[in-house]
Amino acid sequence: MIDSLLNVAAEHADLLISLVKILLLMFIVLTVNAYLTWFERKVVAHMQSRWGPHRVGPHGLLQPLADGAKFLLKEDPTPAGVDKFTYFLAPLMALALALTSIAIIPFGPDPIRILGHDIYLGIVDLNIGILALFAITALSVYGVALAGWSSNSKYPLLGGLRSSAQMVSYELALTMSVVGVLLMAGSFSLRDIINAQAIHPERGIIGWNIFPQILGFLCFFIAAIAETNRVPFDLPEAESELVAGFHTEYASFKFAMFFIAEYTSMITVSALCAIMFFGGWLSPFPASWAFTHYLPSLILIPFGLWVIWDGIRYETIFGRIILPGLGTVITAIGAVLIVFPFINEFIQGPFWLLGKIFFFLFVYVWMRGTLPRFRYDQLMSFGWKLLLPVSLANVVITATIIMLRGH
Amino acid sequence: MIPTHYYLVLSAILFGLGVVAFIFRRNIITIFMSIELMLNAVNLAFVAFSQAWNRLDGQVFVLFVIVVAAAEAAVGLGIIILIQRNRQSLNVERVDLLKL
Amino acid sequence: MNAPLVVFFVLAAIAILGAVSLILQRHPIHSALSLIVVMVALAGLYLLMGAEFVAAVQIIVYGGAIMVLFVFVIMLLNAGVEERTNVSKMAAWAGLPLAIALMGFIAAAVASSTDRVQAAAQTGAPAPTKALAGLLFQQFVYPFELTSFLILVAILGAIVLAQREKTHP
């Protein structure tokens, strides 16, 4: 019985590996989403000289759990007169599409070898990687438009129409601003784009796409913020303007689905910025500086020690137990990296990629805490009259330079 | 490999369903969507032949068909908006001023 | 019964179900959603045939722009459920079987011509986008420029058609 099961598993090993990778990635992404909300509330609060969540667990670290419990247990009313099928479909579509886009992102260069199978980090590497991501972005307009329309209420309808018009407009600038990178890399696949930046490993940060493509990066980042409906482009879901925009009539769990979809698309966009313009998993230091391989440990060990020191003097007993424990775990991970160089080499790629993603997420949250929002007509004219011509100009300039250089 | 005529039969069925939708529905927008369905069925046939004969001309033509469908959708929907404004209805049976 | 054949039948079934749903749904927005399902299924079929760029363009342009336009117009015009007008019973009783007969005839004609259609080698390898681009910009550059002009004309036409009526001062 067990033998036949193992035989079947061995035959369909690729399928099983993909399934396990998908489940693992789904779990990691949902957890990162939850703690991204904590991070956002803490950072925005500290920028506004206040504490943010700090009661639910040490430093508010259990706040996402409390929010999750609220979303699951709150009453889920369905307003009268909604179009039932579309009302239920819209958040499903938004969430499914946002989570699907994580599958295309590669997280590390080298495969792990488990039981004789090479497992690459990242679920799939498509030949048309970037195009598939744009296809998913194009389809996610429906989540917003259908949510706004099916709610049978004027504020969601207005918010939904405005939001989907905004998303469709900025999609063009998004697509165009990436063409420069594609011309330089010669391929749509995300791994090829990173490898094209790694041709000269001794150049380190100078080989990244950010320097030739600074215009493209700015256009891409701004268009991506508009695509994900974040500040300063969040008029369609701003509280003082349209109650809550297209998700006004959605309560607990369906609202949580929109919420998760928005934060997941933030993570995807940050990952894309890191991969396409900032070298993905490449280290900014030249490859010959081997001592920089200890940078992960150099960051983790002091951070872990600081968490222990902060936890010992924390006000609640719960914090005095949890925080030092957390700090010990972090320090232990840092120590393990020094002791085992094999793991250290392997962790370099994912460490740099995750660091860059974290940096872009911080910039997203930073912008939320500082910038005021655009008015809708300013937003549309910015997208069509400034961003699109600039990204087209970037394509023309890049293509001309490549042609003159004869690449 | 999947034989080409499987794709062609599917294309024929989709085209036929598009014709049925065109004839039997009364809402102008649904009729327009059935035209898009017919165009999609034709695109499927083009790509199937492009794969059968290992040439890329079929796929290039599909790109052109998609572009033409986009232009046609833009103008067609403009006309539909005008019909709604003038006849206050989206029912084709009300757009019958030229009927005998 | 290998994996590509199973995937083909699943995607074909989804496409046909979507098309039937387009015919049978009463509200235009549900018909639009069914058409989007058909388009995504067809994009899957294009991927199965190795036409990856066409599959991506189908979803981005057809599914992400043209159908969004349809959904916008349905929302803005507040299109409701179709009303029941007096359609002649003869049309339904005679027309539907005739339509099915037409479809069956075309399908049978296609299916019986297998020997002529299965001509060259089907490699099933993904079509390189570079070759497609080379073909588009070298051999088909004249139609390409014409389609860009066509889009410009369509944009102007749509703007003029959908303008509000100007109140003459």
Decide if pLDDT at A97 tops 70: yes
Query: Exposed, middle or buried: residue C153 (CB in 10 Å: 0-12, 13-18, 19+)?
Result: exposed
Residue with the bigger pLDDT between A270 and A118: it is A270
pLDDT of residue C120: 44
Q: Is the CB of residue C27 less than 8 Å from the CB of residue A83?
A: yes
Domain boundaries, given as residue ranges, for chain C: 1-80, 128-169
Asked if A131 and C53 come within 8 Å (Cβ–Cβ), the reply is yes
The token pair that represents A340 in the structure block:
């085992």
Q: Which residues in chain B come in under a pLDDT of 70?
A: 100
Asked if C56 and A128 come within 8 Å (Cβ–Cβ), the reply is yes
Distance from CA of C43 to the nearest CA of B (A): 9
Asked if C59 and A138 come within 8 Å (Cβ–Cβ), the reply is yes
| Other Cβ atoms closer than 10 A to A396 | 11
Backbone angles phi, psi at A112, to 5 degrees: -90, 145
Which residues of chain A have a CB within 8 Å of the CB of C52? 126-128, 131
- How far is residue C131's CA from residue C122's CA, in Å, rounded to a whole number? 17
pLDDT of residue C85: 62
Nearest to C147 among B51, B56, B64 (CB): B64
Closest CA in chain B for residue C100: B16
Asked if A135 and C65 come within 8 Å (Cβ–Cβ), the reply is no
Sorted by sequence, the CB contacts under 8 Å of residue A120 that are 6+ apart come out as A106, A108, A111
Asked if A141 and C75 come within 8 Å (Cβ–Cβ), the reply is no
Q: Can you name the CATH fold of C1-80? A: Four Helix Bundle (Hemerythrin (Met), subunit A) (1.20.120)
Q: Is the CB of residue A358 less than 8 Å from the CB of residue A37?
A: no
The token pair that represents B51 in the structure block:
């794969």
The model's confidence at residue A239, banded by pLDDT at 50, 70 and 90, is: low
C15 has a chain B CB within 8 A of its CB: yes
The token pair that represents B96 in the structure block:
């019958």
pLDDT of residue A94: 93
Residue with the bigger pLDDT between A101 and A158: it is A101
- How far is residue A208's CA from residue A197's CA, in Å, rounded to a whole number? 5
* Interval C49-88: pLDDT, tens: 888 999 999 999 999 999 999 999 998 888 777 666 666 6
- How far is residue A299's CA from residue A335's CA, in Å, rounded to a whole number? 11
Asked if B9 and C147 come within 8 Å (Cβ–Cβ), the reply is no
Instruction: Map residue A228 onto helix, strand or coil.
Output: coil
- How far is residue A58's CA from residue A317's CA, in Å, rounded to a whole number? 9
Q: Is the CB of residue C36 less than 8 Å from the CB of residue A138?
A: no
Q: Where are the alpha helices (DSSP H) in A105-185?
A: 129-150, 154-185
* Interval A75-96: pLDDT, tens: 888 888 888 899 999 999 999 9
Instruction: List the subunits that have 3+ CB pairs under 8 angstroms with A.
Output: C
CATH architecture for residues B4-89: Orthogonal Bundle (1.10)
Residue with the bigger pLDDT between A24 and A316: it is A24
The token pair that represents A99 in the structure block:
């989570």
* Interval A280-326: pLDDT, tens: 888 888 877 878 888 888 888 999 999 988 888 888 888 888 888 88
Nearest to C56 among A131, A149, A171 (CB): A131
Closest CA in chain A for residue C64: A138
Q: Residue A352: name the closest of A204, A162, A234 by CA.
A: A204
Q: Residue B58: name the closest of A267, C131, A281 by CA.
A: C131
pLDDT of residue A385: 94
Q: Where are the alpha helices (DSSP H) in A313-387?
A: 317-339, 341-370, 376-381
Which uninterrupted H or E stretch holds A114? strand A112-114
| Sign of the four-CA dihedral A304, A305, A309, A312 | positive
Nearest to C75 among A89, A138, A161 (CB): A161
Decide if pLDDT at A340 tops 80: yes
